Structure 1
């Protein structure tokens, strides 16, 4: 009698690396491993991932995906790191919707705070704006859809040479989101946005799906962290550099360096799939794999709740 295959569950943890993203290399990340400040664990059968941050003095506000295996859905939360003493605040809710959310890409523009979360289940790339109030960044309003009707994931934005650029992947058959990089451009943040006429601009399992903050290097070229999926989803991160980025043509090359989880954490050595920039620190997430059969029990209970809920 064949044994039932043990389920494979990914668990992520978030760390703050004391180095600018453009100065990082795999060797530098390993050198800094013991200086990384790790976020508290999310709890039983939950995890935090996809970190992006805003800084206010010694307060580093880190926005994360809060995933729960009991529902197989995530919302967005914020934890604040006091950079002077390394203490973390309790998590606070940021955004909750009827559909799954992740990848809370936050940024500042024209004196306001914006967010483009991953919301592919809603079939759109949507722009949100923080609403002023007593609590900073506790309330968000949906402004518009930047790419309506598109099942895009991990949209990452940058303003360069007077234009806005968006890098994203698209959900599709045969793990399309792990092997195709797409680009869109606009003259203003709220659009209209135009998908590039040469999409996908890169097709390769070794680096396509966006994995963090695009940045402009000393050479004036845009560099984008992307997932290296050759060893499975979230297995590693590398960078691609755009030697040409115009509405007419895109030329992009993968850089050879690869960032892996073992460089940053001894116990979460199975993957690294986010590198986001916030001034003189870089945020990462790294992965461990759990093969406990308790996951099967959680999956059964979730299906039972869904089934009985439809009765």
Structure 2
């Protein structure tokens, strides 16, 4: 009996060590987020973060002293100006959508708040559709996925449609084209869902295969990118806590079916030699602006200190869901 108990304890200890190795029980404390940006002549296989510019939390605090962080950057380029929209967390409880602009893609100026609601806003995916500018931010606290339209771009954003009602979803990423209209968003249970519609203003519904991913990589981390092979979407990796890293997934459609495959693991992750990004990175927006011209923005988080907090339930839960995802998808 004693040997039997020892065997069970030993086996349990080994399981805990394996879990801790992939999703540590002791996790670092992060601080405020900042954004970085750069360019390349081809779609980058890697991003040399240490060679790019950073618009830091300190830079924004100099313009708005209530700043807590800036994160979730998305950009559009209109004529000769880059418009960079971001989640702006201030000392009040809810975040707003802020704006930075640049004429050269290197030197940005803070332009203030462009959208504020009585609920938390983040993840401001802005895009141009039929010569009008729209935004699909995260509006989870409004219990809906809302579509905003700019009536005086880049300002005066108003709700023009509700894409999904009575649902709390994180980081909705939308792709609109002549042949495909899809949206991905996550719930609080580590499920990434796929929705489809016949147009931007059509009826959005779950795909017949509703869950695309589950577990520690199951939350969108940026805009879809279309290339000759199909679609790429950044997906957050949370194995070492929220905001740890970012992988690239290939989304392939075959008639009414689709598949999701991780193409580049940890395309972005914490940068130990860059103080603003030491804790991790979790957002990417990359677009092709012309022949041999790619531009991208991303965010990262710094460490408050080297101390860590103990989290037992999280790694156990995440590992279970990852295993379930691996077995059934």
Instruction: Note whether the superposition's TM-score is higher than 0.5.
Output: yes
Larger Rg: 2
**Structure 1 ranges of 4+ moved more than 4 A:** none
- Residue of structure 1 in register with 2:213 after alignment: 202
CA 1:263/1:49 → structure 2, altered by over 3 Å: closer, same or farther? same
Superposed CA deviations along residues 14-46 of structure 1, whole A, max 9, x for unmatched, are: 1112137x71233xx12x622x22224232561
Q: Does 1:270 align with 2:269?
A: no
CA 1:267/1:100 → structure 2, altered by over 3 Å: closer, same or farther? closer
Matches within 5 A, 1:140-179: 140-160=157-177, 162-171=179-188, 176=189, 179=190
Instruction: Determine which of 117, 124, 129 is the counterpart of 1:97.
Output: 117
As a proportion of its length, which structure holds more strand?
Answer: 2
Superposed CA deviations along residues 160-218 of structure 1, whole A, max 9, x for unmatched, are: 561211011113xxxx2xx321110011101210111222121131x210000111122
- Residue of structure 2 in register with 1:180 after alignment: 191
- Between stretches 91-100 and 51-60, larger displacement belongs to 51-60
Instruction: Determine which of 77, 97, 102 is the counterpart of 2:98.
Output: 77
- Residue of structure 1 in register with 2:299 after alignment: 285
- Residue of structure 1 in register with 2:132 after alignment: 112
Instruction: Determine which of 151, 154, 162 is the counterpart of 1:137.
Output: 154
TM-score (norm 2): 0.75
The number of aligned residues is 270
Structure 1: gaps spanning 5 or more residues = 1-6, 294-311
CA 1:210/1:263 → structure 2, altered by over 3 Å: closer, same or farther? farther
How much does 1:256 deviate? 3.8
As a proportion of its length, which structure holds more helix?
Answer: 2
Secondary structure (helix, strand or coil) at the match of 2:222 reads: coil
Structure 2: gaps spanning 5 or more residues = 1-27, 308-329
